[in-house]
Structure 1
């Protein structure tokens, strides 16, 4: 994707941020947005700094460059996997698919979908982006499926991942309607039965 100035605001702000504003936080938030729009390869330090309203030198000062900023803004998931385990295990196993889909959507919706977009758009140009998604699903779903006594755990884990990542791609990256704007409970009702079958149902 092009790295032209089209990703930057027309009116640029240079120099230091006004007193009292957190430069690091501003850079992280701006980086998530730019990485979500352009992926790792397409994002530039200049575009991120302009979006944050700071001098580009601040990226090196605070994060050591684009790689360090990507690690802080994107490679750290916006939720605690251990806390999610407790949330998802709180209820009947027969409703686990509903809780998974509902939690996936509400957590990513709450984060604005930017981190998910940035991870997906950056997979081809940044190996760690794909590794973050793989590690999350492998560790998180392996423990969850094992806790409910599922067989063929690796296969079931990848089937669950295919459903959730695909749903995330359509909702947050490609933004196909009506899924992109659909109510969470509408998607829960439609998708949860498939996820539930992947967890506890028969897989031929």
Structure 2
């Protein structure tokens, strides 16, 4: 019986190939950022063929979501926000955003992500690039106005402030207010950014 020889080229998938790809992706996203990371670069770093990366992950965005262990899929968030009339966009944004925070698991994971963002420049850069690509840009395209990115960034600032106030600082009465009250109060404020 002859020993099998390894053929030249990328190695095939092994028992933890997916995990190795995620590790390589995490390192690449951390070193280069979201925009400069490519599927091919991740494949090279993981020493697999790019087709194998595509086998496990549909896109770079999917790879980012999985590699960063995000508590939500930003593409699904954007889809839910964009699904409906423009005049109700403010309410939808608030409803979707706070809905992510309302479950115990969601709140725990979002708090961890928020704390990581404010304590690490690298994590902040990654989240900024990833969220801009997957949420802020699609929403700004819907607005279709010259200052759309400014408006969407103001919305993001408003929502992050609410998350800190309600879920981290737990400032009353915001912390114990019911969700429908917050949506009713915040929806028009967010809509004012949409309408300019």
TM over 0.5: yes
**Normalising to structure 1: TM-score of the pair?**
0.57
The worse-fitting range, judged by mean Cα deviation, of 164-173 and 153-162 is 153-162
Q: 1:94 aligns to what?
A: 87
1:84 aligns with 2:77: yes
Q: 2:110 aligns to what?
A: 116
Structure 2 alignment gaps of length 5 or more: 1-63
Cα–Cα, structure 1 residues 126 and 104, in superposed 2: closer, same or farther, change >3 Å? same
Structure-2 separation of matches of 1:188 and 1:94? 14
1:185 aligns with 2:180: yes
The answer on whether the counterparts of 1:74 and 1:118 sit within 8 Å (CA) in structure 2 is no
Structure-2 separation of matches of 1:187 and 1:150? 27
Instruction: State the number of aligned residues.
Output: 131
Structure-1 separation of matches of 2:97 and 2:168? 15
Quote the offset at 1:167 in angstroms: 0.3
Structure-2 separation of matches of 1:100 and 1:72? 20
1:129 aligns with 2:106: no
The worse-fitting range, judged by mean Cα deviation, of 94-103 and 136-145 is 136-145
The answer on whether the counterparts of 2:137 and 2:149 sit within 8 Å (CA) in structure 1 is yes
After TM superposition, the structure 1 = structure 2 runs for residues 133-152 of structure 1, keeping only pairs within 5 Å, are 133-139=127-133, 140-152=135-147
Structure 1 alignment gaps of length 5 or more: 1-70
Structure-2 separation of matches of 1:103 and 1:112? 12
After TM superposition, the structure 1 = structure 2 runs for residues 40-119 of structure 1, keeping only pairs within 5 Å, are 75-110=68-103, 111-119=105-113
Quote the offset at 1:146 in angstroms: 0.8
Structure number, greater radius of gyration = 2
Structure-1 separation of matches of 2:102 and 2:186? 16
